[in-house]
Amino acid sequence: MKVLHIDASALGAHSVSRNLTAAIVAEFVRTHPNAEVTYRDVHAAPLPHWAMPAADAGTTVGDEVMDEFLAADVVVIGAPMYNFSITSSLKAWIDRIAVAGKTFRYTSAGPEGLAVGKKVIIASTRGGIYSAGSPAAGMDFQEPYLRAVFGFLGVTDLEFVRAEGLALGDEHKTKSIDSAVAGIGGLANAA
């Protein structure tokens, strides 16, 4: 089993999503001792913004990123909410993996996702509360966006491990992280 681990938080050791992705990957390694993990930190090593192939000439980073994604059976992504969406560092990664002819194609019947058979797990973190039914639910352009992108690429097995309300006080933060961590065990067992 190949596991691709992506982190995007700028908060280093204080990051909740980094702790959650590490715990998710550790759970996969514990339950699948043959797991091979590839790690990419798109904050520490930002990807160049997508450019015309000629402007990108001489770099292989786009190919590497695509190869890592295509090879992975399980993709674990830390996705903090920044200004109601994902970090620009993670968006630059998505711009490298959403490529016509590789991970999707257009047919006469419409678009078709080609990245089938993967499990994608997203550790979603946010300072406020945006879950369904909350007053700010309509301002969530993070989880619905990720659902749309991975659905478009053909991923049907998509799970969110969510810790939200992280800016609402220590008690709320602890409860939210504990409940996110509690959901991790079942994820790896089901893979």
Write out the residues near ligand FMN by the rule CB under 6 A: 9, 11, 15-18, 78, 80-84, 125-128, 166
Minimum CB distance to ligand FMN, residue 22 (Å): 11
Q: Of 60, 75, 54, 53, which Cα lies nearest the Cα of 8?
A: 75
Tokens coding 170: 């220590």
**Residue 144 backbone class (left: φ over 0; alpha: ψ -120 to 50; beta: rest):** alpha
Q: What is the DSSP string of 34-100?
A: T-EEEEEETTTSPPPPP--TTTTTT--HHHHHHHHHHH-SEEEEEEE-BTTB--HHHHHHHHHH--B
Nearer CB in complex with ligand FMN: 87/103: 87
Cβ proximity to ligand FMN: between 18 and 118 the closer is 18
Q: Is 137 helix (H, G, I), strand (E, B) or coil?
A: helix
What is the closest distance, in whole angstroms, from the C-beta atom of residue 119 to ligand FMN in the complex?
21
- Report the nearest approach of ligand FMN to the CB of residue 20 (Å): 8
Q: 62 or 159: whose CB is closer to ligand FMN?
A: 159
Q: Minimum CB separation from ligand FMN for residue 189, in Å?
A: 25
- 15-25 in b/e form (b: 16+ CB < 10 A) is bbbbbbbbbbb
Nearer to ligand FMN, 159 or 164 (CB): 164
Phi-psi region of 151 (alpha: psi -120 to 50; beta: other; left: phi over 0): alpha
**Pick 83 or 156: Cβ nearer ligand FMN:** 83
> Nearest approach, Cβ of 153 to ligand FMN (angstroms)?
23
